[in-house]
Amino acid sequence: MKLQSILLPYGLFLGPMAGYSDHAMRQMCRKMGAEMTVTEMVSAKAICFGDSKTSLLSRVFFDETPTALQLFGHECDILSEATRKVEGGEAGYARPSAIDINMGCPMKKIISGGDGGALMKSPLQIEALVKAVALSTSLPVTVKIRAGWDEDHINATECAKAAESGGAQMVCVHGRTVKQVYSGKANWAVIGAVKGAVSIPVVGNGDILSGEDALRMKQETGCDGIMVARGAIGNPFLFREIHAALAGEPYTPPTITERVETALSQLRQACLETSEHHAIPASRGQIAAYVFGLRGAADVRRRVNCAKTYAEVEDILLGFARQSSEEN
């Protein structure tokens, strides 16, 4: 698959988020306009060791493609072996559309092992890792980086060039440094600098919370695509809003009823794929996000946090929607 075909018309990506971007969320965002999704970050080493939980995380479903499988690791042989193991997909599931290498995760447990954002310290290692993976697969290889390690070491351009030299077909740049984690503001100027320095497509990421944000990022950086992450938690409608903004069309926000129905649809899918016992607790944050800012949301959150079954959550949310409609 040529990644350029995915970048039409707008190149709207749902980014990888541990504990959030499972298949149920990815599927919903695709329905709302995401043109490509990325799996949760998966350990290359765990894949090589045959870990069963990791196998579940790396599954790509037919109804969500194109989907990139994101791996993390810092050893060429491990990443290459993991790539070969997942390239064909699992029986009954789709083949990944691309292999994405995480080189920007800021979490301590990831960088302490030399993975994720720790790789921003060594462009030479980035080039070697990308080359090793690219030589081991027929799939496109992409990378996700940050602006740099910290404010004194802004080197996204150097790292992006290294990835391109290694054979990456696309680079996604989060405008924050590794040390910032998710605090402060994303530096979009860094994204623009990377766009001017490489010939492969560049996807911008960071602080996209509205259609206007997406339009402004495109204008300010010249990026080829936009990756939405935290802004889509409980708000897959953001992709519809971005589509409208980039197309110059009016946008109508979802009603409370649509928010509730979408939240329940996503939760049902999560329950079907795992179990109520697993999906209900894992989905509480997303359900809270669906009603965030609405009158009565705090009470909904409190009650959902005590719920143990889908039926209980459904009763809470549908009651909330009915009451909101009556008040309006």
Helix axes 23-32, 256-273, angle to 10 degrees: 140
**144 by DSSP, 3-state: which?**
strand
Burial 255-292 (b: 16+ CB within 10 A, else e): ebeebbbbbbebbebbbebbebeebbebbbebbbbbbe
The per-residue DSSP string of 234-261 comes to: T-TTHHHHHHHHHHT----PPPHHHHHH
CB 191 within 8 A of CB 217: yes
Choice among 29, 105, 159, 172 that is catalytic: 105
CB 21 within 8 A of CB 39: yes
- Nearest Cα neighbor of 89 from 130, 134, 39 is 39
Answer yes or no: 105 catalytic.
yes
Positions annotated as catalytic residues are 105
